[in-house]
């Protein structure tokens, strides 16, 4: 123990700081290197509840909103699906390209040039949970020909199989599992 303290005393403070920063840098590099940004497949699911209170044991309809994220090299597909009682009522599928990936912030920049809406034939109008996305997409595609936004990977836990992602500028946060 005393030998260790004596050995550390031989180093100057800036040398100790350099060793510490190098060690942290190696750990961060190892963590990010274990993540491949060229291929990403995530499944995200949200259960929707009716306000102000909803009893999970009631026989009311069970609504869900799901998101599938697929990144393969420079191509990206995002598929939002809205359903009720395990029946898909409507979906919107975005496709485009990965414009950039910043490994430091774990952020993808997407340019989406196409959005396709599908609905159950018995639906009279687009369900409310995805109506706003459809309207914003339509306006952006008509005005600019593309939609650009970022998706940041906030946290990855491979042991518990979840990935936390955040979309900007919307601020939408999703907890997903990898496939």
> In the chain, what are the domains?
39-47+62-177 (2.40.128)
What Å distances lie between residue 133 and 41, 60, 130, CA to CA? 21, 26, 5
Name the one residue in this structure whose structure tokens are 């005005």. Answer: 143
Question: CA-CA distance, 63 to 172, in Å (whole number)?
Answer: 18
CA atoms within 13 A on the CB side of 50: 10
The encoded tokens of residue 151 equal: 């998706």
Question: CA-CA distance, 44 to 16, in Å (whole number)?
Answer: 44
The per-residue pLDDT for range 65-114, each reduced to its tens digit, is 899 999 998 999 999 998 887 788 888 999 999 999 998 999 999 999 99
Q: What is the pLDDT along the chain (179 residues), one digit of tens a residue?
A: 445 454 556 777 777 777 777 776 666 665 554 455 678 899 988 876 555 555 555 545 577 889 999 999 899 999 999 888 778 888 899 999 999 999 899 999 999 999 888 888 877 787 777 888 888 888 888 888 888 989 999 998 888 888 999 999 888 899 999 86
What Å distances lie between residue 7 and 2, 23, 24, 33, 35, CA to CA? 9, 18, 21, 33, 37
């Amino acid at each position: 123990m005393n030998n260790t303290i004596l050995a550390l005393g031989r180093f100057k403070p800036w040398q100790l700081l350099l060793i510490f920063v190098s060690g942290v840098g190696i750990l961060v590099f190892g963590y990010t290197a274990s993540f491949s940004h060229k291929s990403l497949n995530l499944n995200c699911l949200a259960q929707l509840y009716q306000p102000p209170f909803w009893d999970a044991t009631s026989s009311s309809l069970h609504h869900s909103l799901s998101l599938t994220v697929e990144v393969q090299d420079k191509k990206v597909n995002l598929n939002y699906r809205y359903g009720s009682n395990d029946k898909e009522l409507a979906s919107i599928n975005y496709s485009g390209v990965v414009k950039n990936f910043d490994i430091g912030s774990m952020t993808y920049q997407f340019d989406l040039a196409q959005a396709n809406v599908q609905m159950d034939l018995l639906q009279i109008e687009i369900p409310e949970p995805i109506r706003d996305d459809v309207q914003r997409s339509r306006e952006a595609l008509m005005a600019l020909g593309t939609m650009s936004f970022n998706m940041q990977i906030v946290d990855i836990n491979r042991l518990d199989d979840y990935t936390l992602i955040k979309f900007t500028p919307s601020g939408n946060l999703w907890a997903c599992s990898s496939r």
